Structure 1
């Protein structure tokens, strides 16, 4: 979080940190090639992903981080002329990340004088007015999540006259069945109480199981904000966030899976706060643009929350 510069006094155990983050997404709108169509069966999916994060800051340049997602999904969808309801849950695909600070800048801090005893002035060094940093991300995602739901793709049959489902095995699977490369960057800027940050991540997909290969995807998240409170112990602020994703169509049995491509843009507020070694955030994402391929059930909203502790 920009605005909280690291302390110069640090013990080895202070490098450890942990976090828990939740993303809840409700999928309830049916689109065909970006255009909304009726949803006569009321098909939907509720997706909850809890990320468990453990990391260690090696020094002021490098940090290692392990992510373990716990996934729970509830769904209702048509299956021929019947309605299929169910849930899936379990461990998703774990990943390990290396964070490297490529650039960091802080303007010279100001010095002021305070008369604390009423007589002698005491010099007080203020925090820098301007800070900037660029962090590069590289990582590897492992196929630890159950990918057996993808096998549904082998048995899908279109029943003439029956409503079409927009929720398939590739939507419900807990894992992709592939080793994937993760590449990205985090940019943070702050001037006094104003700040801007942006995270961009590209996932390079490997070959998956069950003859199903997920497409590469690009995601981004960030925007401007303002700290209403900012001092060495406490931070509280509000941020306007623009986030999104672009993903091409997957491939199944060597052919394009036409109902899997999507480009989406979300906007919404995010509240951020920290107190001593604790940090937290809470945000809402609302879709303003969704362009998808074929028939899909797409998000109506996302809720995100997280809390972290620096030891």
Structure 2
């Protein structure tokens, strides 16, 4: 079988402060020690035999944050925030660049991140509002998926000398409204994400745990955009909700697909969920759910050959 996972030890502290009516400040700090197992394998896939495992990877991650939520008059409210993060990979580790050997706990590579966020809420009426926001986030741990593998080849890897943190910048705008004395609640949101330092396996990668995974990765960018429609019934014997998302998620790598955009592994064009709850009596409730989602785009391999050098 194949196994890849993350074990964390963490601690955090959070504070809330209320300077005045309609004004809330939240701040805090957190720390996490990561132990990542990139790949432990024991399996046979055709002529490929998996008999090796990779040394665990270790890292420190910490952050401090500040959120300020306040009202600007009767209709407008503002939420601002700033998060400062730090990530350090530590040994034991052997550099893939210059073969330098790092001892246990010795820093290998450090990344710092500045993550601002801003959101606005404009109350058009007591029952309707418009919300808009922008968020920048850094991701230091990466789950790399190989869509062409017949094995569960998802692998966790940390940011390192070769693997840079993924960066996501998201824009979102939504309209929210309540109907029939708050019996119904509906919303329509659209979003766009600009993704940097995306990671994937090189083209024609063949599963072989004898290879060092960091040398098998390629890096590029991505984008994701779509619309989400949500309708919920909150009161009465029959309650429930309907949610539908139309979206597209793409990746662009110079080394893959001739540098042209292609659907990401997690691309799901259509996603529909329906949930219903019916109160039969004070003691009995009947529930049901329906979920539909389109599958991943996939082009099967027609042929594969190796050239001896």
TM-score band, normalised by the shorter chain?
0.3 to 0.5
| Bigger RCO of structures 1 and 2 (CA < 8 A, at least 6 apart) | 1
TM-score (norm 1): 0.43
TM-score (norm 2): 0.44
